[in-house]
Structure 1
Amino acid sequence: MLGLKGEVPPPDSPSRGQPAHDRSGPQLPDRGRPPWSVPARARNATVDRSAPRNARSPGRHGRSTIRSSGEYTVGRGGAGKGDLHVAEIKVYGASWCPDCRRAKRFLGDQRVPFEWHDIEHDPDGVNVVQARNNGNNVIPTIIFPDGTFLSEPTNEQLAEKIGLERMAMMHVYDLIIIGGGPAGLTTSIYAARENLQTL
Structure 2
Amino acid sequence: MPTESFTMYTTTWCPFCRRLTSDLAAAGIDYTNVDVDDDREAGELVKSLNGGNRVVPTLVFADGSSMTNPSIDEVLERLAG
TM-score normalized with structure 1 length? 0.38
Question: Which is richer in strand?
Answer: 2
- Report the counterpart of residue 8 of structure 2 in structure 1: 91
**Higher RCO structure (Cα 8 Å, ≥6 apart):** 2
Secondary structure in 2 matching 1:103: helix
Normalised TM-score (structure 2): 0.89
Task: Please tell me the root mean square deviation across aligned C-alpha atoms, in Å.
Answer: 1.5
User: 4+ residue runs of structure 1 moved beyond 6 angstroms?
Assistant: none
Which residue of structure 2 lines up, in the alignment, with residue 163 of structure 1? 80
Residue 126 of structure 1 is matched in structure 2 by 43
Give the letter for the 1:151 counterpart.
Answer: T
Q: Percent identity, aligned pairs only?
A: 27
Write the mapping of 1:156-195 to structure 2, written as runs, cut at 5 A.
156-163=73-80
Structural mapping, 1:62-81, within 5 Å: 74=1, 79=2
Between the aligned partners of 1:144 and 1:105, the Cα distance in structure 2 is 19
Q: Which has the higher helix share?
A: 2
Unaligned segments of structure 2, at least 5 residues? none
Provide the secondary structure at the position in 2 that maps to 1:138.
Answer: coil
Paired residue type of 2:68: S
1:130 Cα deviation from its structure 2 partner: 0.6
Number of residue pairs aligned between Structure 1 and Structure 2: 81
* 1:71-128 superposed Cα distances (whole Å, 9 cap, x missing partner): xxx2xxxx25xxx4xxx31000100101101111122112111111111111111011
Unaligned runs of 5+ in 1: 1-73, 165-199
Specify the structure having the higher radius of gyration (Cα).
1
